[in-house]
Structure 1
């Protein structure tokens, strides 16, 4: 293992969140390496002053034009979600096992793993980072297993950030439920976070060296599905959804106090309903 190059960050997965994050970190003065799965996307990274790499990880291994070069950095941000498949838990762990082996051969010292609040089941109340309940969804089980795999590796330090539902820019919630009838669970509170706050929090973790921890990230306010998606459709000029009467809603409320306190972070968009009126 060679000495870690300082001020260099590799981002595995430059998609909806990874690309604007990479662009932001370049503006912050970091040297950024970014990965995409297809060669035709590499030009976009080059234009943004991001060093481009092609990386594809399957259960069989890593396919890359230069995985060693991509991992020649101090910090690795892992940003690709579990695949939608029946064997997602085993498959995602197999993918990450190959990646961990590659990291162990690299100078990477710190890993920032982008996880999801799907690791929490519906408990009809607040959930915190120390929760140990078993996820109900396959994707949540896969993420929780990978979190453990990374955090128990003594070769590098890992921080896990569990984002709520991602919104902002081209992810306009007005389209999600527009025109749908008798939607279930209308009285359940929602958990979302804007792309800009995701980037602000990830940058804060790096700047403030908040390594070796687990954080939730979600807006301060939690409107109901009925309130939020009805207003979203109305503002977008789309047909309003209707909601079925639900005597026993199932939900969770993501508590993000820990990340706000640790980073002294104030959300740019703390209220999802107010955000709807900005069009951002």
Structure 2
């Protein structure tokens, strides 16, 4: 089995590293604090300290692996402006191209148009998208597979909390684009041993319930206050009404066609009924 270094052992990276270790991979990982490094070590993961905000270079030992999985959240929603700089520091530290690199990105690279979005539809439609696509471009030519996650749900991220108790929520009929943590882990593990490189894959559940139905039921099942959605016919204008009915649909089927990947959680509505999906 190839050795794997997971750069960023957070909500996704840590359970990925744990799963890989259980499967017999030699796994390295990193955290930004000594306490985080100690925690990784107790889990049997070869651990390194890495804070790309302050460190000039990553440990050569951390980057010495057959596959690098780079999972550093951009933090753009909270006004973080150092994402590309951190990634650039990591690239400089690599010295040479790894045998294989998997870069975790997001479906935020797609515009909010009323259409199905495939991997070729990414564009600079906003300042945020410019940063996200800039990050992907940094790793071009480094034997990189890009995986674009849709909205993430799973342990600690129950969708019932996303809109619980909120009022005047728009986009009632917009399609929901979500992917569960278990599918993220399974897909990346599959790609670690996949033969192709320089590829891009969306990861999104293939069924897309409407926003109102899904988030209302999610809040109800979680025992939280129900959200209040604005009805389409109360929109301020015909154009606004059309926007409320629209929204992009993320097509996550390419990885299935190319690699035979099968989503464990195909239907977000059924996912809500799974007692173990959020534990």
Whether the TM-score (by the shorter chain) exceeds 0.5 is yes
Shift of 1:68: 1.1
- 8 A Cα contact 1:118 1:137, kept in partner: no
Cα offsets for 1:17-53 (capped at 9, x unmatched): 0000000111121111101111111222112211011
- 8 A Cα contact 1:7 1:31, kept in partner: yes
- 8 A Cα contact 2:117 2:248, kept in partner: yes
Cα offsets for 1:59-89 (capped at 9, x unmatched): xx6356x62111111111110111335573x
Quote the RMSD (CA, aligned, Å).
Answer: 1.7
Cα offsets for 1:80-111 (capped at 9, x unmatched): 111335573xx3222222111111x2572211
Q: Distance in 2 between matches of 1:234 and 1:63?
A: 48
Whether 1:254 and 2:245 are equivalent positions in the alignment is no
TM-score, structure 2 as length reference: 0.90
**Relative to structure 1, is the Cα distance of residues 228 and 166 closer, same or farther in structure 2, using a 3 angstrom cutoff?**
same
* Correspondent of 1:93 among 84, 90, 107: 84
**Relative to structure 1, is the Cα distance of residues 200 and 184 closer, same or farther in structure 2, using a 3 angstrom cutoff?**
same
Unaligned 5+ runs, structure 2: 233-240
- 8 A Cα contact 2:111 2:122, kept in partner: no
Partner of 1:115: 105
Q: Distance in 1 between matches of 2:125 and 2:109?
A: 5
Whether 1:201 and 2:194 are equivalent positions in the alignment is no
* Correspondent of 2:38 among 35, 43, 46: 43
Partner of 1:221: 207
Whether 1:191 and 2:177 are equivalent positions in the alignment is yes
Bigger shift: residues 267-276 or 256-265:
256-265
Partner of 1:276: 272
Shift of 1:272: 0.4
Partner SS for 2:50: strand
TM-score, structure 1 as length reference: 0.89
- 8 A Cα contact 2:178 2:205, kept in partner: yes
Unaligned 5+ runs, structure 1: 1-5
Partner of 1:23: 18
Bigger shift: residues 46-55 or 191-200:
46-55
Partner of 1:83: 75
Q: For 1:130-279, list aligned pairs within 5 A.
A: 130-136=120-126, 138=128, 140-151=129-140, 153=141, 156-246=142-232, 247-248=241-242, 249=244, 250-279=246-275
